[in-house]
């Protein structure tokens, strides 16, 4: 093994060790934050955030990225929890309403893991690639989770189909629009996290992040997990 190979191997080992350390710190912080969540306070904060996000999305994403205290991390955790609960309730209601539907515990667990992994995978990709503007992993999780708010809203709209299947003619186009909005928000998350001033460079970085993300999505599909 020549010197370059040794250097690359050591660098890779150091990066992996650093990522594990950061992941451990993020896990510890998550536990602490979950213990001290004031749901009433966070609900008010989330309501205000939602208004700002749809009113002035670019400025809001920038504000979250530049927030040194990462004060929206609890809000991000609640977004993830709400998304998971919505998916669980959806499967339970399907089991109750539809005679043909069989409740599968493993499939349900995989479905509940899906939003968690969707946010976590994207956050880790951004965190690892963003070497020049290194921030805490929790910051990446916060910004990605907030960019996924439109998808959570889309999940809520899906419940309207239990009232009438014809509602799909309204909810499906709205869900598609919300998916586009989430993608656009993710672009601005990448732009602000990587501090790219030019839209062209930001777009290239965003495409790179998305390509890696969908490679991971493809890998998870073999485990029966859809992101």
Domain that holds residue 20: 1-36
DSSP 8-state secondary structure symbol assigned to residue 167: G
The answer as to whether 92 is a domain residue is yes
Same domain, 206 and 134: yes
Residue 17: what pLDDT?
65
Averaged pLDDT for residues 126-149:
88
Region of residue 224 (phi > 0: left; psi between -120 and 50: alpha; otherwise: beta): left
Predicted structure pTM score: 0.84
> Would you say residue 226 lies in a domain?
no
Average pLDDT of span 203-220? 93
User: Are 6 and 50 within one domain?
Assistant: no
Residue with the larger pLDDT of the pair 30 and 73: 73
What does the alpha-carbon distance between residue 205 and residue 130 come to, in Å, rounded to a whole number?
10
Same structural domain for residues 110 and 201? yes
Same domain, 52 and 31: no
Report the distance separating Cα 113 and Cα 121, nearest Å.
12
Is position 227 within any domain?
A: no
The rounded Cα 156 to chain-centroid distance in angstroms is 17
**Mean pLDDT (whole number) for 121-142:** 88
């Amino acid at each position: 093994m020549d010197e370059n190979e040794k250097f690359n191997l050591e660098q890779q080992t150091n990066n992996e060790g650093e990522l594990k350390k950061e992941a451990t710190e993020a896990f510890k912080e998550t536990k602490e934050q979950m213990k001290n969540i004031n749901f009433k306070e966070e609900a008010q904060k989330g309501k205000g955030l939602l208004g700002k996000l749809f009113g002035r999305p670019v400025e809001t994403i920038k504000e979250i990225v530049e927030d040194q205290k990462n004060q929206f991390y609890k809000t991000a955790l609640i977004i993830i929890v709400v998304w998971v609960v919505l998916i669980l309730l959806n499967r339970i209601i399907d089991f109750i309403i539809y005679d043909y539907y069989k409740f599968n515990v493993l499939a349900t667990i995989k479905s509940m893991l899906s939003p968690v992994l969707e946010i976590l995978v994207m956050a880790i990709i951004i965190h690892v690639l963003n070497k020049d503007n290194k921030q805490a992993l929790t910051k990446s999780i916060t910004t990605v989770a907030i960019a996924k708010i439109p998808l959570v809203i889309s999940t809520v709209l899906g419940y309207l189909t239990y009232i009438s299947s014809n509602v799909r003619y309204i909810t499906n186009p709205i869900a598609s629009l919300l998916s586009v909005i989430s993608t656009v928000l993710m672009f601005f998350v990448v732009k602000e996290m990587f501090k790219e001033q030019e839209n062209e460079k930001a777009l290239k970085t965003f495409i790179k992040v998305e390509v890696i993300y969908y490679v991971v999505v493809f890998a998870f599909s073999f485990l029966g997990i859809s992101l």
